[in-house]
Amino acid sequence: MASASARARQPLLERRLGLTDAVVIGLGSMIGAGVFSALAPAAAAAGSGLLVGLALAAVVAYCNATSSARLAARYPASGGAYLYGRERLGPLWGYLAGWSFVVGKIASCAAMALTVGAYLWPGHHREVAVAAVVALTALNYTGVRKAAWLTRLIVAVVLIVLAALVATISVSGHAQPARLTAVSEGGVRGVLQAAGLLFFAFAGYARIATLGEEVRDPAHTIRRAIPIALGITLVVYAAVAVTVLAVLGPRRLARSTASLAEAVTAAGLPALAPAVQAGAAIAALGSLLALILGVSRTTLAMARDRHLPPALAAVHPRFKVPHRAELAVGAVVIVLVLTSDLRGAISFSSFGVLVYYAIANAAAWTLPPGEGRPPRVVPVLGLAGCAALAFSLPPVAVLSGSAVLMIGVLLYGARRILNRR
């Protein structure tokens, strides 16, 4: 473990992001990651009970957001829960948080890149996905301000598309509210699994916390940006979910591969389908952009503490970004794009992200009142909710995620043994 003085001598990133930039980066991650892809699998798990799952996911996300915001204000540096776990719980827990985040979110990057390819050119989706990763990694390399401005544009386009979808379907007369009352065929476990899948879509607010070293006045900005971004996303998700369910019904939605495009077609508005497909591709690009941004910053923090190769801690002298970490993340994502599938990447990512937030909630519990501790019930509900949602995911995701965590523990132990010699 690097000493505090050694960490202080590391080159710092430049504080360029304001409140609007931080909110937009969170929106780009959350809205882009889930609204076009998570509704169908959630409906397959819970029918129209996915609306209950959406509410549960929002409650857990709110607790996690509150804990993360208080911790980020207390520790305004790159790393997110890796930093919080290390400072509040000890080196191992910080390492596990960082390991879970990096591994899980690299899988998310692959999932979003594959989504871009599937919407833009289905017959060549892997080639398009690789091109998207290369282009956005290059953009992030040239500076965080450019990435923030592109994310702002993407979020604006996606919100316009979603608003048009909800408005046009609502006035078309094809929505049938009775379809919202169908009983969940999956029972309580189905609702929990739907919540776990939908939580994947909310998890983008972590990107705000991991950018703590690049945000101006982080104690004030991060604490405001996280709940604002989460609240806007919840309103958007609820409006879209209710609209699509009312048009397609839970069974048809569960079978859909492009649920929002199918909903506008079923509502008698096929001319709007290409715009929805384009919006889906743009949303996935926005999510991928913010994901690469966040994963590279956690990689930077772990490299500073030598849990990852120290060379990845380098900050570019001109662009003031962790350029080697960004290149390494981009290379690993390309490998996953060429070897994995979308559904498996999402399930694996969800497990890793929930472990990450469980550690963040545990860290928030230890904050004293004078350091901005949230109400005790918040980290308790957050930790319990993360555990419940994680173990409601498909067994393959739980087993593979647990195995990767154990590999991380073994690597951590091996490193400590070698350092003692």
pLDDT tier at 192, thresholds 50, 70, 90: very high
pLDDT at 340: 86
% residues pLDDT > 90 (the chain): 30
The lowest-confidence range among 302-306, 340-344, 391-395 is 340-344
The answer to whether position 3 is within a domain reads no
Q: What is the mean pLDDT of the chain?
A: 84
Predicted pLDDT of residue 197: 85
pLDDT tens per residue, range 113-165: 988 887 788 788 899 999 999 999 998 787 656 566 776 787 788 888 888 88
Residue 59 has pLDDT above 50, yes or no: yes
Residue 256 phi, psi (nearest 5): -75, 145
Q: Does residue 1 lie in a domain region?
A: no
5 domain-assigned: no
Asked if residue 174 has pLDDT above 70, the reply is no
Mean pLDDT within 194-222: 75
Percent of the chain with pLDDT over 70: 87
- What pLDDT shows up at residue 331? 96
**Is residue 234, in this structure, part of any structural domain at all?**
yes
Tokens of residue 306, six digits? 């030598």
Of residues 325 and 26, more confidently modeled: 325
In this prediction, residue 365 carries a pLDDT of: 94
H/E run at residue 1: none
Residue 2 lies in a domain: no
pLDDT of residue 337 exceeding 70, the answer is yes
Give pTM, 2 decimals.
Answer: 0.80
Higher-pLDDT residue of 314 and 346 is 314
276, with CB counted inside 10 A (0-12, 13-18, 19+), is: buried
Q: Span 200-216, mean pLDDT?
A: 70
Region 290-317: mean pLDDT is: 87
| Res. 314 pLDDT band, cuts 50 70 90 | very high
Rounded mean pLDDT, 386-396: 92
What per-residue confidence (pLDDT) applies to 391? 93
DSSP letter at 215 equals B
Q: pLDDT (tens digit, 9 = 90+) per residue, 1-12?
A: 444 444 444 555
Over range 409-421, report the average pLDDT. Answer: 85
In 203-258, alpha helices (H): 206-210, 218-255
pLDDT at 121: 84
- What pLDDT band is residue 13 in, cutting at 50, 70 and 90? low
In a domain, 87, yes or no: yes
Q: pLDDT confidence of 320, banded at 50, 70, 90? A: confident
DSSP, residue by residue, 333-381? HHHHHHH--HHHHHHHHHHHHHHHHHHHHHHHHT--GGGTPPPTHHHHH
- Name the token pair of 171: 């006035």
Mean pLDDT within 165-193: 74
| Cα gap 63→53, rounded to integer Å | 16
CATH code of the domain containing 378: 1.20.1740.10
Confidence of residue 184 (pLDDT cuts 50, 70, 90): low
pLDDT beyond 90 at 398: yes
Confidence category of residue 372, pLDDT binned at 50, 70, 90? confident
Q: How confident is the model at residue 33 (pLDDT cuts 50, 70, 90)?
A: low
In a domain, 10, yes or no: no
Is pLDDT at 403 greater than 90 in this prediction? yes
**What per-residue confidence (pLDDT) applies to 8?**
43
On the question of pLDDT at 327 being above 90, the answer is yes
Number of domains present in the structure of the chain: 1
pLDDT score for 188:
87
Domain membership of residue 244 as a residue range: 16-420
Cα 256 to Cα 279: distance, rounded to the nearest angstrom: 17
pLDDT of amino acid 122: 77
* Sequential DSSP letters for 190-210: HHHHHHHHHHHHHGGGHHHHH
Question: Is 194 a member of any domain?
Answer: yes
* Neighbouring-strand partners of residue 215: 17
